[in-house]
């Protein structure tokens, strides 16, 4: 089919329409995101992926995003992570990812979680949401056959616990906070007098009621799933969302106003700012955090709560110089742990027993190291709190027992039962050396996260013992070790210097002897070369003299006779010269060889010099006598014309 168009503009329009249609057809197999995916699903999918693949912290990632619906993202992320094994089975059964290869697998998991186990529907009209909805019936059928609903519902019952809110007494008193909350419609229940009655009130909490905590007076408990993220008190730092288990260590530390506190593992800053509130910003709190991202969260929390007495330190706490922090009086040791006590903490991997036990051993080693460092290196510390959000004895009683074996009577464990006036039910096991003096919080019984707390109090009547194990007396041992090393190095240096001096003397002696030998040999060579030069010069002089004699003799003869007898004279003179030169050369070589043998010492050199002078004199005399003999010989043997002619005839005949 051909289209004839006369107008150029109209033909361009037709071409453009055809091009756009072809483009749409080519894009039919791709997701056209004309309607964007809701941000809560995108953010949650990214968080779940990073937690699963990189092992990142769920809470840290959520607060990094700064999304207004933090509670919604947190709940959706937790449920998705808890259901990962069921989600993988559903994706495999329905073949969604195979049939829809461009669908983000993590976004698909989040959407399925929202559809099946949270809201029960997906209201967005974006392409990924519509794709999941086309598989809704298959997903529901397969989830029922796999028994996923029962599993998640059973887990949902365990997660229920009150919403705890701590009043920041730096900005707002507890009385004013209760007053403002009552104005918002909340009703305060009467304060319980015993722990069992308090637990009963917590179990029956429902809107619009809330209750003041029995142990921590600035802590308020609200019904489960109460949202405070949009509350003005939370946004301006007056109300802090902090679990009761997390607030107990600072409550038991109980620092006095004006004291100095060290928080060894400070981020995200809940306990740090609670200490600042306890001190009412009168004193000093050193908040140490090594991780850069967590340190930023710590800074934000300090700024938000107006905790001006806090000095944040972004470094490894083990690199602190205890000498500079010797004035510290209270220490919080809340190290990294397995987090097994956190109720809503999702399972991030499927590790079996062996890797988990190995991980617990590694954590335990670090925890013991850090606790020893706190106990042995700060001489003025009065009380140290050790706490974890773990329910494993490897991180709790076993750590305390290892440290108790080193501290002697310099510290003693305070019984938490007495501090809480018997208003607690769960404590450490008596089968360990620490006995039941430490505190446990158990989620199912205490309606808060699982936690462990041990309190060490200093006995200043007993001197602090030395501990050679890791973390113990770190600063003192370091100084002593340095002194020992310095003493050892000085002794080694002296010995080394003496050896080097002796070696230098030996080397110098050898060098001097070698130089003497080289000088003596060079002197001999120079002397022999001088002798050879003198002999050569004498030879040349003699030859010159002989040539002069030859020239004088030739002048006596006639020109004709000399021309005829020139060959004969040359032959005779050459024969005579060769004989004398051979004899002289032989004698000179013999003398030079004799001189080389005799130049072994300085005395011999002197003798050889005297001998050489005598030889020179003799040779001069011999040369003079030779010259005289040659003159006489040539005078007697002056050839005349007749004799020369006769000799030439005889030679011809002989030939």
CA atoms within 13 A on the CB side of 148: 24
**Helical (H) or strand (E) element with 419:** helix 416-419
Contacts (Cβ under 8 Å, ≥6 apart) of 432: 393, 397, 398, 400, 401
CB atoms within 10 A of CB 454: 27
Point out the catalytic residue in the list 148, 309, 337, 389. Answer: 389
- Quote the CA–CA distance of 146 and 40 in Å, as a whole number: 27
- Quote the CA–CA distance of 144 and 26 in Å, as a whole number: 38
What is the per-residue burial (b if ≥16 Cβ within 10 Å, else e) of 428-446?
A: beeebebeebbbbbbbeeb
The pair phi, psi for residue 10, each rounded to 5°, is -65, -40
Do 346 and 82 form a contact (C-beta atoms < 8 A)?
yes
- Quote the CA–CA distance of 441 and 405 in Å, as a whole number: 25
- Quote the CA–CA distance of 354 and 359 in Å, as a whole number: 9
Do 361 and 282 form a contact (C-beta atoms < 8 A)?
no
The pair phi, psi for residue 610, each rounded to 5°, is -65, -40
- Quote the CA–CA distance of 376 and 466 in Å, as a whole number: 8
Contacts (Cβ under 8 Å, ≥6 apart) of 245: 341, 389, 441, 446, 448, 449, 450, 451
Classify the phi-psi angles of 348: left when phi > 0, otherwise alpha if psi is within -120 to 50, otherwise beta. alpha
3-class secondary structure per residue, 544-570: HHHHHHHHHHHHHCCHHHHHHHHHHHH
596 preceded by a cis bond (ω within 30 of 0): no
Residue 467 annotated as catalytic: no
The closest of 307, 278, 271 to 385, measured between CA atoms, is: 271
DSSP string, 145-190: HHTHHHHHHHHHHHH---EEEEE-TTT--HHHHHHHHHHTT-EEPP
- Quote the CA–CA distance of 28 and 23 in Å, as a whole number: 9
- Quote the CA–CA distance of 452 and 252 in Å, as a whole number: 12
Do 326 and 378 form a contact (C-beta atoms < 8 A)?
yes
- Quote the CA–CA distance of 589 and 594 in Å, as a whole number: 8
Residue carrying structure tokens 């050199």: 605
Residues serving a catalytic function are 389
């Amino acid at each position: 089919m051909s289209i004839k168009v006369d107008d150029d503009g109209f033909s361009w329009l037709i071409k453009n329409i055809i091009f756009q249609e072809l483009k749409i057809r080519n894009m039919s197999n791709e997701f056209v995101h004309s309607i964007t995916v809701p941000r809560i699903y995108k953010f949650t999918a990214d968080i779940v992926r990073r937690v699963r693949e990189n092992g990142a912290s769920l809470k840290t990632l959520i607060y990094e995003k700064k999304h207004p619906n933090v509670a919604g993202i947190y709940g959706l992320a937790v449920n998705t992570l808890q259901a990962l094994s069921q989600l993988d089975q559903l994706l495999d059964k329905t073949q969604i990812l195979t049939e829809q290869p461009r669908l983000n697998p993590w976004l698909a998991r989040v959407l399925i979680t929202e559809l099946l186990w949270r809201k029960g529907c997906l209201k967005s009209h974006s392409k990924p949401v519509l794709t999941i909805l086309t598989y809704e019936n298959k997903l529901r059928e397969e989830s029922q056959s796999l028994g996923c609903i029962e599993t998640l519902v059973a887990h949902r019952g365990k997660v229920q616990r009150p919403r705890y809110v701590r009043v920041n007494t730096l900005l707002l008193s507890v009385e004013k906070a209760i007053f403002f909350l009552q104005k918002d419609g909340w009703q305060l229940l009467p304060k319980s007098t015993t722990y069992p009655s308090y637990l009963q009130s917590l179990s029956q909490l429902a809107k619009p009621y809330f209750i003041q905590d029995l142990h921590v007076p600035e802590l308020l408990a609200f019904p489960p799933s109460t949202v405070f993220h949009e509350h003005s008190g939370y946004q301006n730092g007056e109300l802090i969302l902090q679990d009761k288990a997390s607030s107990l260590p600072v409550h038991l530390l109980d620092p006095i106003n004006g004291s100095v506190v060290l928080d060894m593992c400070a981020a995200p800053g809940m306990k740090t700012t609670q200490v600042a509130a306890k001190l009412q910003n009168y004193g000093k709190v050193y908040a140490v955090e090594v991780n850069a991202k967590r340190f930023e969260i710590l800074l934000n929390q300090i700024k938000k709560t107006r905790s001006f007495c806090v000095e944040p330190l972004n470094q490894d706490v083990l690199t602190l110089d205890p000498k500079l922090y010797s004035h510290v009086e209270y220490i919080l040791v809340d190290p990294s742990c397995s987090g097994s006590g956190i109720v809503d903490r999702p399972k991030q991997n499927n590790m079996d027993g062996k890797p988990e036990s190995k991980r617990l051993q590694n954590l335990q080693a670090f925890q013991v190291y850090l606790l020893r460092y706190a106990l042995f290196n700060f001489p003025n510390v009065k009380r140290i709190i050790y706490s974890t959000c773990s329910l494993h004895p490897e991180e709790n009683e076993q750590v305390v027992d290892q440290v108790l074996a080193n501290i002697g009577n310099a510290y003693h464990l305070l019984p938490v039962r007495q501090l809480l006036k018997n208003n607690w039910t769960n404590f450490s096991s008596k089968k360990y050396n620490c006995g039941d003096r430490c505190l446990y919080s158990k989620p199912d019984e205490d309606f808060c996260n699982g936690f462990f707390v041990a309190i060490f109090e200093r006995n200043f009547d007993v001197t602090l013992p030395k501990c050679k194990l890791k973390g113990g007396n770190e600063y003192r041992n370091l100084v002593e070790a340095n002194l020992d090393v310095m003493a050892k190095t000085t002794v080694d240096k002296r010995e080394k210097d003496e050896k080097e001096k002796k070696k230098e003397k030996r080397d110098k002696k050898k060098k001097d002897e070698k130089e003497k030998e080289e000088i003596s040999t060079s002197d001999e060579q120079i002397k022999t070369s001088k002798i050879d030069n003198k002999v050569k010069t004498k030879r040349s002089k003699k030859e010159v003299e002989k040539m002069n004699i030859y020239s004088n003799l030739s002048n006596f003869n006639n020109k004709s006779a000399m021309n005829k007898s020139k060959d004969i004279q040359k032959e005779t003179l050459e024969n005579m010269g060769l004989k004398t030169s051979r004899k002289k050369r032989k004698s000179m070589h013999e003398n030079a060889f004799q001189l080389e043998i005799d130049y072994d010492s300085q005395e011999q050199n002197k003798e050889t010099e005297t001998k050489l002078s005598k030889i020179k004199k003799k040779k001069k005399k011999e040369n003079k006598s030779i010259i005289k003999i040659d003159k006489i010989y040539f005078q007697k043997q002056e050839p005349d014309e007749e004799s020369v002619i006769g000799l030439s005839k005889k030679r011809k005949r002989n030939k």
